[in-house]
A and B are shown apart, each in its own frame.
Chain A
């Protein structure tokens, strides 16, 4: 079975190579080939999954060593895979949702002349993402890590004739590179501390290192996770990333790639467990981001950007849970999976709406769409209920567990974390209900697009609606399945460990509180957007609303702090390089040998004096030779 792991990664990479190098001949059927490659890796994943299930819990780890990658003295990096319960969970999510979204894209990108290339990039993404979660060492993980970053860059900027898309793509890559500095330094620290960066050597021996070092490694890993998972302070790229085609937003910027940061933290659990300070920072980052994203999500009128805010916020929950240590790891991943279902479903629904509305994204120009797009409405609605934590749908199980884990932290901290997460849950219900109401209910506020075409909303083709239905099914049922007999907990526990904290409140109390704040959030949104007509032009709004619309001024801050300063710096240096460095070196040389005088003369056209100087050099040589001979 082990040999299948390599194939799993290779299939989509092969797809990418064929589609990107194959040229126009493949335009007609290329997308089906891309879909097939995604499906192949999904089938392989399922086969491996059943193989793992046949084994006992502790023996569910497969290794495949392909070749030695960079061997230089003690530095040994291998191309080798490790498949355990944690990576298996990701592999199923990535290939499963990935295949569905490939199918969806067949319909969504039908009219795009570069569809083949789009599928090539999607395949590339799948391959890189699988590499990321299957690598058995941090350096190979890094390759997948940047590979998904590259795919993300290419797909955000897919419509690169739009300057906004090109800018967003570059921004995503550069911000992620800041995170990559973190990952690089973490790996360097591991190498100097343990002499290795393979999971099998670092993680079991983590507690042999000093706490200071582990805190350093942990914080650097967190920096990397913040970049990839759009957590504060490296969150600014995710909203802009919505410039990419919607299937991309669903797959990469909601279900899979942005959750890679959570994977990194959970995978490195052993490091964090021995570095409580680093864990605290993870928790704080998660808590801040979950509120930050929720507040932004409440204010955006662009349906995709509102959902992007929500994604940040939900990953904040996961990050917080991961920061709690073995109390939270399992539930971070559980929420990650359920979120993969419902958030991908929501994005695909949003894409379906845009597809029917001439690519309009402003929710203030939607309204009353439920009768025109019944399938979209129902599937979107189910995903909506799942994310707000409607009892017995998937979000209810996973989010409540995280909130409970927060309380289990104990003490004042526990109360603060629980409170923050409940507040987040209320906000989630609010912004999601707002999206729901503005899109599917109320008056039709449709406006002609830039070319004057009136929208004629219609249901999307089957290639698009089938994936939406499957994901909605997952959003509804996943919680049940995971909760039944605590199957998910038992599945992951051998890898991540599990502890029960000391919670001041019971499970039941958490559920009741969470349901109560959810009702409050829904009611609040209904008062504002359900009871009254929604104005087509956004009202000015309070100071907070205005700030939230501008993503709480993240870009203004970054611009002032980094872009502006950086641009002065580079411009200043360009000037100085010419005037100062060049001048000083030329001047110094001149004072030694009159170089600059000669420079000027030759520059004026006396090219022959070059010959003179060469002869001069030769003469010196000869003279020296003779001299030596004489000596």
Chain B
């Protein structure tokens, strides 16, 4: 058996978490560098995954597969494997984590000069260990091709996330230390309960899936590949009702995680209360498991039910797009603003997934990646700003570009990417999603298009209120970005521009996977009304 590369990619951060957590309390810096080193190791392994992945036509759909028996009694196997979409998502995760660690370098340091009795629990070691733990779980979720195995990682990542949200927040706020702790704990519990509730429903569906497959196949299975193959060959054909119930069970969990309106309200709390790197971790990495899983599990295993649910899902996605953007415009807290903007963007991703065209699936996957990077750039700079002033309220800022031009400039670029400016990655993905929606249902495409005006409003209002105008009292000596902070943001910006100008390396990886997904759902792209090439051929 060849080297288990996928397992190694997930074990590296998990091992890193253990090692980091074990560093003695006084050696904080060692812990940080260890965590950073392990995140780089993970990145290197993820790079190997990308390089080893074969995009040639006719190559296997799932590659780098590993398969071991785990609970033979009811067919649970330790099965890993990636298609192009999985590769891209693992790469995104592995790329982002080192930046998050770099951005959060000092976020979990104990506050100096505070009486030990008042000192909250802020062990640096724990913070970084938890981030690495989340990374491991997320990578395993992207790689798992056994439904039960996926479920376990999908749920297990909640534990480190819960502690990251509940245990670490911004330094100060208008409500004081204690009020903030209360808010934070509320946000963490809300996050946990929403996701647990979704997860429990999914658990029922996972079990139901086993029962349903056991009905028709020689033995019940959780193996995605086996299920897909059985569906293709016609061996497995769920009754319509069964398929719909199973679909709903899975979809609900993914819609909570994604999050889709109206199940979104945990996200602004969670992103608002946690530190900026953790907020990015939630929206850019963890939430992506939800939309990824819709594409892989819902569409793959339950194509007919997916089609059945499409009108409602697309409706909810549209509501998310417009509603999230309108709420972002109305926010007074900049982290909550970014959270609502993300809800709007998740609407686009879900729209792309359920439009069921090549552009939609390719666009949605690109969207996940671009949104992750763009939000990271914007949110991390916002975090740097918040750390300087000790407030998340937009009204507490003004004229920052005068005192900290580099900070303001990077904030603007992050914002422009968030509003999908052409030339940045998000434009490509957003346009592909619009193309897919429009080619299926014109009206839906047109409504989604209005989202681009609203995005300009929330981004530019935020920029105008915080960065321009006269310098607000108390900000006269605001320091500009430090070297570490620039080192975190600059590569993200380079990536955004690169993916906007030359997304081809990514689309090449995605193409075969998109084709497979299209054949899973047995759909073809809508054809143009007047095919130019046919006209030319006729002439």
Binding site for B on A (CB under 8 A): 67-75, 79, 139, 142-143, 145-147, 150, 153, 157, 160-163, 165-167, 169-170, 173-174, 177-178, 180-181, 184-185, 188-189, 191-196, 201-202, 205, 208-210, 213, 566, 569-571, 573-574, 577, 581-582, 584-585, 589, 592-593, 595, 598-599, 602-603, 605, 607, 610, 613-614, 617, 620-621, 624-625, 628-629
Chain B residues with CB below 8 A from A624, complex form:
203, 207
Contact call B423/A610, Cβ cutoff below 8 A: no
**Considering the chains assembled together, what is the distance between the CA atoms of A161 and B405 in angstroms?**
12
B233 at the interface (CB under 8 A from A): no
**Considering the chains assembled together, what is the distance between the CA atoms of A184 and B435 in angstroms?**
9
A193 and B530 in contact (CB under 8 A), knowing A142-B422, A166-B464, A595-B197?
yes
Binding site for A on B (CB under 8 A): 71, 73-74, 155, 159, 162, 166, 182, 185-186, 189-190, 192-194, 196-197, 199-200, 203, 207, 210, 261-265, 323, 326-327, 329-331, 357-359, 362-363, 399, 401-402, 416, 421-423, 427-428, 431-432, 434-435, 438-439, 442, 445-446, 449-450, 452-453, 456-457, 460-461, 463-464, 467-471, 501-504, 507, 510-511, 514, 525-533, 535
| Residue from A188, A610, A614 in contact with B445 in the complex, judged by beta carbons closer than 8 Å | A188
| Residue from A71, A146, A196, A620 in contact with B203 in the complex, judged by beta carbons closer than 8 Å | A620
Contact call A625/B71, Cβ cutoff below 8 A: yes
Chain A residues with CB below 8 A from B197, complex form:
589, 592-593, 595
Contact call B193/A139, Cβ cutoff below 8 A: no
A146 and B532 in contact (CB under 8 A), knowing A163-B470, A170-B460, A599-B189?
no
**Considering the chains assembled together, what is the distance between the CA atoms of A569 and B283 in angstroms?**
26
**Considering the chains assembled together, what is the distance between the CA atoms of A577 and B207 in angstroms?**
34
**Considering the chains assembled together, what is the distance between the CA atoms of A209 and B504 in angstroms?**
31
Could you tell me the distance in whole angstroms from the C-beta of A504 to the nearest C-beta in chain B? 39
Contact call A146/B74, Cβ cutoff below 8 A: no
| Residue from B73, B182, B329, B511 in contact with A603 in the complex, judged by beta carbons closer than 8 Å | B182
Chain B residues with CB below 8 A from A189, complex form:
438
Total A-B contacts with CB atoms under 8 angstroms apart: 217
Contact call B511/A196, Cβ cutoff below 8 A: no
Q: Which residue of A lies closest to B74 (CB)?
A: A628
Contact call A192/B529, Cβ cutoff below 8 A: yes
Q: Which residue of A lies closest to B71 (CB)?
A: A625
Chain A residues with CB below 8 A from B469, complex form:
160-163, 166
A205 and B449 in contact (CB under 8 A), knowing A602-B189, A603-B186?
no
Could you tell me the distance in whole angstroms from the C-beta of A52 to the nearest C-beta in chain B? 27
Contact call A174/B525, Cβ cutoff below 8 A: no
Known: A177-B456, A193-B530. 4 other contacts (CB 8 A): A174-B460, A181-B453, A184-B449, A195-B533
Could you tell me the distance in whole angstroms from the C-beta of A150 to the nearest C-beta in chain B? 6
Could you tell me the distance in whole angstroms from the C-beta of A599 to the nearest C-beta in chain B? 6
Contact call A610/B192, Cβ cutoff below 8 A: yes
Q: Which residue of A lies closest to B531 (CB)?
A: A195
| Residue from A161, A170, A213 in contact with B464 in the complex, judged by beta carbons closer than 8 Å | A170
Chain B residues with CB below 8 A from A201, complex form:
532
Contact call B262/A178, Cβ cutoff below 8 A: no
**Considering the chains assembled together, what is the distance between the CA atoms of A5 and B409 in angstroms?**
30
| Residue from B358, B439, B456 in contact with A173 in the complex, judged by beta carbons closer than 8 Å | B456
**Considering the chains assembled together, what is the distance between the CA atoms of A625 and B502 in angstroms?**
48
Most buried by B among A162, A188, A585: A188
Contact call A607/B330, Cβ cutoff below 8 A: no
Chain B residues with CB below 8 A from A72, complex form:
358-359, 362-363, 432, 507, 510-511, 514
**Considering the chains assembled together, what is the distance between the CA atoms of A629 and B74 in angstroms?**
7
A209 and B530 in contact (CB under 8 A), knowing A589-B197, A595-B197?
yes
| 8 A-B residue pairings within 8 Å (CB atoms) | A70-B504, A146-B421, A166-B464, A184-B431, A193-B529, A585-B262, A613-B192, A614-B159
| Residue from B438, B464, B532 in contact with A192 in the complex, judged by beta carbons closer than 8 Å | B438
4 A-B pairs closest in CB distance: A195-B528, A73-B358, A570-B330, A166-B468
Contact call A192/B449, Cβ cutoff below 8 A: no
A73 and B359 in contact (CB under 8 A), knowing A188-B445, A191-B439, A610-B192?
yes
Contact call A174/B452, Cβ cutoff below 8 A: no
Contact call B529/A71, Cβ cutoff below 8 A: no
Contact call B530/A194, Cβ cutoff below 8 A: yes
**Considering the chains assembled together, what is the distance between the CA atoms of A157 and B469 in angstroms?**
10
Q: Which residue of B lies closest to A181 (CB)?
A: B449
Chain B residues with CB below 8 A from A614, complex form:
159
**Considering the chains assembled together, what is the distance between the CA atoms of A160 and B465 in angstroms?**
11
Chain A residues with CB below 8 A from B464, complex form:
166-167, 169-170
Contact call A194/B196, Cβ cutoff below 8 A: no
Contact call A188/B416, Cβ cutoff below 8 A: no
Q: Which residue of B lies closest to A598 (CB)?
A: B193
| Residue from A153, A162, A585, A613 in contact with B263 in the complex, judged by beta carbons closer than 8 Å | A585
